[in-house]
Chain A
Amino acid sequence: MIDPPSYAELISGLNWSLSERELGYQSGESLNIGWMCSDRICRLGQAEKLALVWEDYLGNEKRFTFDDLRVLSNTIAAFLVGLDIKPGERVCIFLDRVPELYIGFLGILKTGAVAQPLFSAFGDESLFVRLADARTSAIITQKKHLHKVRKIRDELPELRHIIVVDARESPLQAREVSFQMEQAPRVEDFTVFPTTAESPSVLHYTSGTTGQPKGAQHVHYSIVSQYLTAKWVLDLRPDDIYWCNADPGWVTGTSYGIIGPWANGITQVVLDSGFNAERWYEFMEKRRVTVWYSAPTAIRLLMKEGNELARKHGLSNLRYLASVGEPLNAEAVIWSEEVFGKPFHDTFWQTETGCIVITNFPGMRIKPGSMGKPFPGITATVLDPKTYEPINQPGVAGLVALRPGWPSQFRSYWRNEAGFQTKFKNGWYLCGDRASIDADGYFWFMGRDDDVINTGGHLVGPFEIESALLEHPAVHESAAVAKPDPVNMEVVKAYVTLKRGYEPSLDLELEIMNRIRKRLSPLAMPQEIEFVDSLPKTRSGKIVRRILRCKEFHEPVGDLSTVMNE
């Protein structure tokens, strides 16, 4: 096996056309991710190679070859076309990590429709906001989550089809239809819709400081970035057994849990299970995982369970480890070297970038705690927050910014051009994070540049939480801010003032927490609620979250001249 090229060699040699060549794509031709990840791999002579080994928490197993991916995604595509789903329409995937999610994703793309994956732990309110905004035509779900869809479907006139993958004999209601992937007649031949490089492919929702979540619109050309970064950053090689434990309701789970590995013809394994350290180690041992893409929250939870548990399992197959979602602390890198004999490689990117943009990749010296360096083909810098000019002095904090134009860059926010434009200044795309660059060119993460809360690697917007809090009859005003957390980096904390007649109590706190968890998601649930008499506001009456956040992080609050009642 040839060693991967050094950072300097990569920098000098790379442009994205290398990826185009390897994918067999020529500018102006049709380009369809669904076809690229299944039919193309079969044509390369790997039809019988395992594409997916799926296991649930009870140990039940299913295996799919690349030919199965091809045929079953055809089958789903044909079913959708039969429902009159048209190219460009949004089809939501609202499933746990079942095979229908992964294969259905390819099937949707083959029809030319846009895949809209959503985290299955979302409550009905979070689901509603995203389906209404996207004007989604169909949703693929399972019995377990059907009740959430039923609660909101009457307010979603454009949602024509609710496809249930495990209904069997369950009675279905209006607009609902049963589809059992493995029992359906297999469709050997399906005419894949001739999408082009700029055809919309995936719509992933992400949160900002203001307003409801925004849909980051990606296109089929994104595969050019995802293919190459999966190969070089995650170091995927033909014989690897790859495990990405991210949920495809989030961008990592699609870019590197579906597109990246399968575009490379890699066998991946999926565990449809919640976190359990013993179970995870058993899974990696049993499946002989060689490359593992995880997240700092999971790594810190594993650290909490102790080194002995890891050492009990035969994990010698593990060859390469990477992490995403939030900065990986130096302790976690050092821990992994101790326990697995190799470090986790931190990767930095986000929903809007579609692919890894700043990273520690094979052959690079890792500085524990650093984000790494820009991937070749990506121009990254930190900008002065006032002038939006690059900061050339090492160690000085600024706004992380990327020069637009890489293949998987999002093309817009869905129906939100104004929001899209605010992300660009002075010819740079602003990531919304602050960092510094050291003298060796390594980036060091410092925090978000806005009020968005990064909890367990997922961005949660304060507005969505505050809106849900205000729906509680006891809540008068609220502010949701980040609070530091040793496992999740940040968690949500809510400051709440109560209406007349309500008193703070533990019961009330628990009631509000559970309400937010069910309406929005467990991620959005405040892990703590502090009842206060008043919230800090500007003279114009706007709540100043910054002060509350600084209080949580024990940071100086800065200029308070515009604040009225601090």
Chain B
Amino acid sequence: MDELSKMVRDYVIKEYLEEGDEREVTETTPLISGGIVDSFSMVSLKRFLERKCSIKIPDADATPQAFDTVQSIVALVRRFQQVPVA
């Protein structure tokens, strides 16, 4: 797991995984459909990514599909890391 994936995964575990939830979060664990992150909480996760990675993710791209796994989140971040922040 690379640094970015690890950062996202650790943040999800710290902020969103219920204390009593014993699931292991991997790069492919469903986060939204698995009920770990919901569509409202996605906003704070998006804000975190924008802050930490110095990117701007347009609302249209911040879909539940795009946020459903650590892997898809990392792909989204990488896509916007190549786009200069306006």
Task: List residues of A whose CB falls within 8 A of some B CB.
Answer: 57, 96, 121, 142-148, 272-279, 297, 301, 304-305, 455-456, 487-488, 491, 506-507, 509-510, 513-514, 517, 522-523, 525, 527
Whether A525 contacts B15 by the Cβ 8 Å rule is no
Q: Interface readout for B40-75 with A: 1 if CB under 8 Å, 0 if not?
A: 110110011001000000001001110010000000
Whether A277 contacts B35 by the Cβ 8 Å rule is no
Closest to B32 in A: A274
Whether A274 contacts B63 by the Cβ 8 Å rule is no
Whether A276 contacts B64 by the Cβ 8 Å rule is yes
In the bound assembly, the distance between CA atoms of A455 and B41 in angstroms comes to: 13
Is B2 in the interface zone, CB < 8 Å from A?
no
Residues on B with C-beta less than 8 A from A143 are: 20, 22
Whether B44 contacts A510 by the Cβ 8 Å rule is yes
Whether A510 contacts B33 by the Cβ 8 Å rule is no
In the bound assembly, the distance between CA atoms of A121 and B38 in angstroms comes to: 9
Task: List residues of B whose CB falls within 8 A of some A CB.
Answer: 15, 18-22, 30, 32-41, 43-44, 47-48, 51, 60, 63-65, 68
Closest CB in chain B relative to A379 CB, distance in Å: 36
Closest to A526 in B: B43
Closest CB in chain B relative to A179 CB, distance in Å: 16
Whether A522 contacts B41 by the Cβ 8 Å rule is yes
Which of B21, B22, B34, B47 contacts A274, CB < 8 Å?
Answer: B34
Whether B44 contacts A144 by the Cβ 8 Å rule is no
Whether A274 contacts B40 by the Cβ 8 Å rule is no
Interchain pairs with CB closer than 8 A, number: 88
Residues on A with C-beta less than 8 A from B60 are: 304
Given A148-B18, A304-B63, 12 further pairs, Cβ under 8 A: A96-B35, A143-B20, A145-B18, A147-B19, A273-B33, A274-B37, A275-B64, A277-B65, A513-B43, A517-B41, A525-B43, A527-B43
Closest to B60 in A: A304
Q: Which 9 A-B pairs have the closest CB atoms?
A: A276-B33, A522-B40, A147-B19, A522-B41, A144-B20, A274-B35, A143-B20, A144-B21, A274-B32
Closest to A298 in B: B39
Residues on A with C-beta less than 8 A from B64 are: 274-277, 301
Whether A276 contacts B18 by the Cβ 8 Å rule is no
Closest to B22 in A: A143
> Residue among B36, B41, B63 with the most chain A CB within 10 A?
B41
26 A-B pairs with CB atoms under 8 Å apart are A57-B30, A142-B20, A143-B22, A145-B20, A273-B34, A274-B34, A274-B36, A274-B64, A275-B32, A275-B39, A276-B32, A276-B64, A304-B63, A305-B63, A305-B65, A456-B39, A456-B40, A491-B40, A506-B47, A510-B47, A513-B43, A513-B47, A514-B44, A517-B41, A517-B44, A522-B41
Residues on A with C-beta less than 8 A from B21 are: 144
Residues on A with C-beta less than 8 A from B40 are: 455-456, 488, 491, 517, 522-523, 525, 527
Closest CB in chain A relative to B28 CB, distance in Å: 12
In the bound assembly, the distance between CA atoms of A506 and B54 in angstroms comes to: 12
Which of B15, B20, B44 contacts A147, CB < 8 Å?
Answer: B20
Whether B38 contacts A522 by the Cβ 8 Å rule is yes
Closest to A492 in B: B40
Residues on A with C-beta less than 8 A from B48 are: 510
In the bound assembly, the distance between CA atoms of A145 and B51 in angstroms comes to: 30
Closest CB in chain B relative to A261 CB, distance in Å: 23
Residues on A with C-beta less than 8 A from B41 are: 517, 522, 525
Whether A57 contacts B34 by the Cβ 8 Å rule is yes
In the bound assembly, the distance between CA atoms of A274 and B65 in angstroms comes to: 11
Whether A276 contacts B65 by the Cβ 8 Å rule is yes
In the bound assembly, the distance between CA atoms of A509 and B48 in angstroms comes to: 10
In the bound assembly, the distance between CA atoms of A142 and B18 in angstroms comes to: 11
Closest CB in chain A relative to B79 CB, distance in Å: 18
Closest to B33 in A: A276
Given contacts A274-B38, A301-B39, contact A146 B20 (CB under 8 A): yes
Whether A513 contacts B34 by the Cβ 8 Å rule is no
Residues on B with C-beta less than 8 A from A304 are: 60, 63
Closest to B35 in A: A274
Residues on A with C-beta less than 8 A from B19 are: 147
Whether A144 contacts B33 by the Cβ 8 Å rule is no
Residues on A with C-beta less than 8 A from B36 are: 274
In the bound assembly, the distance between CA atoms of A121 and B39 in angstroms comes to: 12
Whether A276 contacts B68 by the Cβ 8 Å rule is yes
Given contacts A143-B20, A144-B21, A147-B19, contact A276 B35 (CB under 8 A): no
Closest to B51 in A: A506
Closest CB in chain B relative to A168 CB, distance in Å: 11
Residues on B with C-beta less than 8 A from A275 are: 32-33, 38-39, 64
Closest to B30 in A: A57
Closest CB in chain B relative to A216 CB, distance in Å: 23
Given contacts A146-B20, A147-B19, A510-B48, contact A276 B30 (CB under 8 A): yes
Closest CB in chain B relative to A294 CB, distance in Å: 14
